[in-house]
A and B are shown apart, each in its own frame.
Chain A
Amino acid sequence: MTATAPRATEPGWLAALRREGAARFEALRFPTTRDEDWRFTDLAPVAKANLGAARAAGPLTEADLTPYLFGHAEWPRLVFANGRFQAELSRLTGLPAAARVEPLADLLADAPELVEETLGQLAVQPASAALVAQNAAGFTDGYAIVLPAGAVVDTPIHVLFVSDANAVLGTTLPRNVVVLGANAVASVVESYLSLADGVALTNTVTEASLGEGARFDHCKVQREGAEAFHLATFDARQERDSYLNSFSFAEGAAISRTNIYTTLAGPGAHATLYGLYLGEGRQQVDHQTRIEHAAPDCTSWEVYKGILDGHSHGVFNGKVYVHPEAQKTDGKQTNKNLLLSETAKVDTKPQLEIFADDVKCTHGATVGSLDAVPLFYLRSRGIPEDEARTLLTYAFAADVLEEIRSRPVVDHLEDLMRAWLAKAGRRGRAAAGRESA
């Protein structure tokens, strides 16, 4: 994986980061289920696949991307194919003059000092150590957003990480950095897409530093291919009065693990973490979140929902960690799961660890199937059972999608969910047909 990294121009601190990453990944390798943080998700298939670096992508056209642009081709956009920046497909116009929104490799070649305090400094949770180390050792590119104090980027910046057939049997390591100055505002949508089926690994890391009063909306849309492995770590640090709104949508990949972490480092910081995961077949879809309340008067609010069909396995592990100095913390964490089949399963583990005495924290999790009473209510109005089930399943999850700031993204994900549910309905009917036959 070393051949493609633009090492020659890298500063010393980055070279050191890569060396440490390589050594660390060599020592740790991929986590196993003996590790408490990985108990429910077995990465043995990933380790066994022993994938090299992804090859450069074949030719890609605007038309290939159109279905994934949320109907807004005019949004600022960065496109990476098999980890490599695609200048012709990207558009970085209409941004404030002082804003730096560009490929990370370009920024590192030009002004590495802008991200020196962020890159490699935030993603430090032990649970993600191996993934972050592998990424540090071998990443080639990703997006960088550096906004000076007060800069506001209104439209979402869409970053597409596309894999094509040349990524099959390969590894792609996107690395992203966001640095928002005081009161700066930015919104990013990260899309992970496969244009070809086949075993491939994406291991992506995003670090985001939110200055005082900054606002960052981060929406991750994971739609990788049915045989793909997807590993992702997002880690933020939030200064006083900053606001992070995170959303993770996961419907793709054979095995996926998404880590969403944030540290509320300054008083008055606020984080909202939302997610929706859909599983079918033998998909393994795992989310781990961690909110570190490290300063007083911070609030966090978290809702993750999952819909699992077939033999799929959903995992949610959310931790809210309240440090001794984080008095007046207000935190709420919820995870709700809906099982559409008797063979789907969920492991959910919401956790609170509180070391301050004056806090308000709650958490809860549910796993269940559709309630009989609403189902009867809809049927009693003439709505056929299949349609009623679909409607209730949709209703179960739709409210969490509304938390995404960008309406076109909400609409698009609603469409995706409807399509997914229609497929689930057909699978259900086919299964019922087999049973009665």
Chain B
Amino acid sequence: MLDIKNLTATAGGTEILRGITLTVNAGEVHAIMGPNGSGKSTLAQVLAGHPSYEVTGGSVTYKGQDLLDMEPEARAQAGVFLAFQYPVEIPGVTNAYFLRAAYNAKRTAQGLEELDPMDFLDLLEEKLKLVEWGPEIMSRAVNAGFSGGEKKRNEILQMAVLEPSLAILDETDSGLDIDALKIVANGVNALRRPDSATLLVTHYQRLLNHIVPDRVHVLAGGRIVRSGGKELALELEERGYEWLTDAAGAVA
């Protein structure tokens, strides 16, 4: 599904990713953990094609395609989805319009006909249940005036509508109370398919109580310094990141 090899990237001339190598197979959930500034959010955004980062080396292959050569919209149309750490407010564009535009862009890319507003509303009804929302959310402007929790739920709603093959969740758990966290986690779990994969970027272990990862990777200083099973997350919860980052420092 996703094959990252020796990926390096900079932001404003500063090197942030210093050689990431990672393979994610269909059906798997991988957690990317690490202290603040380790580069885990950068990795998520580079995969989605954020223009603030410059890829300086390495390769990313997604379903056999060179992901780095694709525009952000092409990546999305091919099934890559980034749930933003800070979802963007877009006053003046309703959630309904936005979601339908995104959904139809994907259909058009697949050579399918666009869905008209009525048919799209039917489809939405199902998706809204997943995040425990009523239809009134659709007439609100995208994320405008939403609480932190609402914004994250809206990301999951978008994910439910777009049904990605590769879902990248960038600190989707941050700033959520336990109820919102459960809604978000249930949504992510419900959307898992044998032919899709999930990359969870998180600082804390608590999300992994709800979405159980197959693999856990620890990022520090722009590199993966340790990979392991789900028990690695528990060990990090207990011991913190220092023992790993110190080791990484020594290597560097």
Contacts and interface: CB of A to CB of B under 8 A. Distances in A.
Contacts of A379: 49, 71-73, 76
A372 B105 contact: no
A377 B71 contact: no
A382 B109 contact: yes
A395 B102 contact: no
B76 A395 contact: no
A374 B162 CA distance: 18
B138 to A, nearest CB: 15
Q: Would you call the interface of chain A mostly helix, strand, loop, or mixed?
A: helix
B82 interface: yes
A373 B101 contact: no
Given A372-B51, A376-B72, A382 B90 contact: no
Contacts of A396: 92
A387 interface: yes
Contacts of B9: none
A391 B82 CA distance: 20
B92 A384 contact: no
Contacts of B82: 380
Contacts of A381: 76, 98, 101-102, 105, 158, 162
Nearest to A372: B51
B71 A372 contact: no
A102 to B, nearest CB: 40
Given A374-B88, A395-B92, A380 B76 contact: yes
Interface string A365-381: 00000001110111111
A136 to B, nearest CB: 41
Given A372-B51, A374-B88, A385 B93 contact: no
Nearest to B92: A395
Q: Considering residues A383, A387, A391, A397, which has the most beta carbons from chain B within 10 angstroms of its beta carbon?
A: A383
Interface string B61-102: 000000000011101110001101001101111000010011
A87 to B, nearest CB: 42
Given A372-B51, A382-B162, A377 B88 contact: yes
Contacts of B48: 380
B106 interface: yes
Contacts of A398: 92
A382 B91 contact: no
Nearest to B74: A382
Contacts of A380: 48-50, 72-73, 75-76, 81-82, 84
Nearest to A377: B88
A399 B73 CA distance: 27
A392 interface: yes
Contact of B50 (A374, A376, A383, A384): A376
Nearest to A392: B90
A393 to B, nearest CB: 10
B52 interface: yes
A380 B168 CA distance: 12
A397 B81 CA distance: 29
B105 A387 contact: yes
Given A381-B98, A381-B158, A376 B51 contact: yes
A38 interface: no
Interface in B24-56: 48-52
Given A376-B50, A387-B101, A391-B101, A382 B106 contact: yes
Contact of B93 (A372, A373, A391): A391
Contacts of B109: 382
A255 to B, nearest CB: 29
B73 A382 contact: yes
Nearest to A388: B73
A377 B90 contact: yes
Nearest to A386: B73
A394 interface: yes
A382 B100 CA distance: 11
Interface string A381-421: 11111011001101111110000000000000000000000
The 3 closest A-B pairs by CB, nearest first: A395-B92, A382-B76, A381-B102
Interface of A: 372-374, 376-385, 387-388, 391-392, 394-399
20 contacts: A373-B88, A376-B49, A377-B87, A377-B88, A377-B90, A378-B98, A379-B76, A380-B75, A380-B82, A381-B76, A382-B77, A382-B162, A383-B73, A385-B73, A387-B101, A388-B73, A391-B98, A394-B93, A395-B93, A397-B92
